[in-house]
Structure 1
């Protein structure tokens, strides 16, 4: 359904002139107004409705949207994603969904641990229990799959570095010796000393994306080094997105406070703020933090995101190569929330139903066109 068709249907519904089928269609949209369990706040809804009326050319004084209609409209049009196509063929309304000849299952828990001696352990294949000992540090795999480091003896400096690496389509968590927990997103790596401490500080190096829940320790700051910056905390929760293919690094703070050092500049951010570092220039803004820890909760947040950035998120999780036809513009945006536990075809149908793009799966290649 294009915007003109939706506008006409919306007005018909408000005037009580919809057919039973059209009424059912609108009410199905209303049911979907929670983004698969993600309920929009009143403030978010107001913004969506305002953008909807601007996009459709419907000033509020001309067409007053009922609250529940506004909710549906904001999801179907303003953020550009819906459940199905609505078309007219030979005068009969029909619903169409995309069909794919290939499909890919969602990613899973998995990673590779590389020890200081070069030994590699595939954690998805390893049995629960003790995996290794290094410099007085015992490394085990817990029943829930989590990697756990514990200082059993006098570990000294224990500066023997380990690297935890996730491939595309994998995610994993590690509990460090100080009790801090790090969740790694797909195509990411975390490097750290087995004993974590280095020069009196807890230090790790990140490539890709991770969520940190840092144990409080006023005597030993926790440092996260990425390609362009260093993040320093004492005890807090935050997310860092530092994929090389993205234009900027984003640090999003949930609790506590963090200091971001980039070149000669230092920036402090508070809970609910995000620092975006692009070429050494750091910008801070208030954000809805849930939008940036979606992956940890098992979701894709595609709301008002650059379409190519959204497709890179999807590619990492489903381990596919995305190939864009030149008909796909650089500046279009996707929208909506959907679970990362669904098959790739379901996610593509969700996006395709907005009319933003068309998809074709061939093995591990995902072709995108308009």
Structure 2
């Protein structure tokens, strides 16, 4: 039952309650399969966008619950150690689409409650390529407004903005050895993201609400040291003679050439460093203790103590790949991430919190879509008031 049209037909039969038992089993096997290649996502989107079927909200909720249960069993067998999410992301993403589709059809076709429609009337777009560059002379440039091409020249290094939303530093022919050391700062606001190519060729992806301070040129230095607040993914250019060091929230990560992610938001209790390729040394700046990470490991800095564990690398870099991935987080942790990505304030009415959220959603969703998906699965209610989200039981 691998044919896409057959699966689509089974899904439609399930929703109108005409499916046979063997067809139902085949559909569930498809939902739980290891490889999806995006077919399931397309299936659900098309099924929910057609007007040829009159969908029943309870039936949609039932299939969501079934798939969610299968996902939980895969993620947390017997409530023991969490296993890797991918490639089961497609299943979780389908859950988001189904849940939102259920709410959308219910509002448009079933409900007459206009106040509920008003809750999501003014939608908010996801984060885009927004950042501010502060040059060594103090000049601040809004990169989303700046024209493509050359922005500035400092210490014989040209700073340019590319058409695909990337900041690139290119060394010129002049000598930088006798020039004063200059620093630039790149900031992504809440609701923004950006990429930068540092003068040594290191590629950095910056998440929303992050700040990166770095030298305009490394040529006269013995090390490549930069400072990070927030979250970034690094693809470091190899240079054995000049180590690359990232300072952030009480720790320093030292590498020669590798791929790794650092999550160091000030509002989070744990600083996480996840290694994908190569080798890194993570040092606690207070005690000078350090850990050497191997690919697939994660260092967690909690209360000035370093701990190393096996990492879910796909979850750690899901933000870079365009997804939200929640693997057992509590609601307030989830909403902090939502707040940064959509640039909204979150306010809680009464003591509202939910633990153990297992879901995945594309980061391209509008805020209302994401809130609808969370709302239907977690027993909570959201209300949008401008750029404020109210969370209620």
Q: TM-score range by the shorter chain?
A: 0.7 to 0.9
Q: Does 151-160 or 345-354 show the bigger shift?
A: 151-160
**TM superposition shift of 1:51:** 7.4
Indicate yes or no: 2:259 matched with 1:237: yes
Tell me the residue number matched to 1:350: 373
Matching residue within 325, 337, 343 for 1:313: 337
Indicate yes or no: 2:185 matched with 1:185: no
| Residue pairs, 1:81-96, within 5 angstroms | 83-84=98-99
Q: Relative to structure 1, is the Cα distance of residues 191 and 50 closer, same or farther in structure 2, using a 3 angstrom cutoff? A: closer
Tell me the residue number matched to 1:20: 18
**TM superposition shift of 1:196:** 3.3
Matching residue within 355, 360, 367 for 2:383: 360
Tell me the residue number matched to 2:325: 301
SS of aligned partner of 1:291: helix
CA distance in 2, matches of 1:163, 1:291: 28
Runs of 4+ in 1 over 4 A off after TM superposition: 21-39, 50-55
Q: Relative to structure 1, is the Cα distance of residues 336 and 230 closer, same or farther in structure 2, using a 3 angstrom cutoff? A: same
Contact persistence 2:176–2:219 (CA under 8 A): no
Indicate yes or no: 2:164 matched with 1:144: yes
**TM superposition shift of 1:159:** 1.5
| 1:40-72 Cα deviation digits (max 9, x unpaired) | xxxxx99942778868xxxxxxxxxxxxxxx99
| 1:225-271 Cα deviation digits (max 9, x unpaired) | 01210000000000000000000100011000100111220111111
How many residue pairs are counted as aligned between the two chains? 323
Q: Higher relative contact order at CA 8 Å, sep ≥6: structure 1 or structure 2? A: 1
Matching residue within 145, 148, 157 for 1:128: 148
| Residue pairs, 1:320-335, within 5 angstroms | 320-329=344-353, 332-335=355-358
Contact persistence 1:85–1:95 (CA under 8 A): no
Q: Does 186-195 or 296-305 show the bigger shift?
A: 296-305
In structure 1, stretches of 5+ residues that fail to align are 1-15, 40-44, 56-70, 88-93
| 1:135-182 Cα deviation digits (max 9, x unpaired) | 111111122221111110212265101000010000001101111011
**TM superposition shift of 1:350:** 1.1
SS of aligned partner of 2:332: helix
CA distance in 2, matches of 1:167, 1:125: 14
**TM superposition shift of 1:75:** 5.8
In structure 2, stretches of 5+ residues that fail to align are 1-13, 41-68, 80-87, 103-108
Contact persistence 1:127–1:141 (CA under 8 A): yes
Q: Relative to structure 1, is the Cα distance of residues 140 and 54 closer, same or farther in structure 2, using a 3 angstrom cutoff? A: closer
Tell me the residue number matched to 2:273: 251
Scaled by the length of structure 2, the TM-score of the pair is 0.73
CA distance in 1, matches of 2:384, 2:357: 19
Scaled by the length of structure 1, the TM-score of the pair is 0.77
Q: Relative to structure 1, is the Cα distance of residues 164 and 360 closer, same or farther in structure 2, using a 3 angstrom cutoff? A: same
**TM superposition shift of 1:86:** 12
Contact persistence 2:184–2:216 (CA under 8 A): yes
Contact persistence 2:100–2:369 (CA under 8 A): no
Indicate yes or no: 2:301 matched with 1:281: no
Tell me the residue number matched to 1:110: 130
Contact persistence 1:302–1:335 (CA under 8 A): yes
Indicate yes or no: 2:163 matched with 1:165: no
